[in-house]
Amino acid sequence: MRFLITVVWSLACVGVGIALATVEVSGRTPLQHAERAWRSDGARRLDAAKDKADDLVDDVKKKVSSPAKDRPLDKHTADERSALDQLIANRQRDGK
């Protein structure tokens, strides 16, 4: 049964491929319509996405390569730090 399903799906895929390459819609095949759309817009969008990805990779490399001493370890003020210490102490005392 599994073999029969595989053969049917393969024949369906081949049939769709042949239809896309030979049947004309508005004077062109669907494959030609797709190629035309890709040439007009797809390559430009792909290049824009590649440039954006390159910029993101460069930013990540900069952040990772910077030494730890350049990055702030604690962004809390003294008041916030004392409030956090009190909360932690209360939780440890309560056994939570």
Q: CA 81 to CA 86: how far, in whole Å?
A: 9
Give me the pLDDT at residue 34, please. 82
Give me the pLDDT at residue 92, please. 73
Q: Phi/psi class of residue 56: alpha, beta or left (left: φ > 0; alpha: ψ in -120 to 50)?
A: alpha
| Segment 33-89, tens digit of pLDDT | 888 887 877 778 888 899 999 999 999 888 887 776 666 666 778 888 898 888 888
Whether 19 shows a pLDDT value over 70: the answer reads yes
Tell me the domain boundaries of the chain: 6-90
Whether 96 shows a pLDDT value over 60: the answer reads no
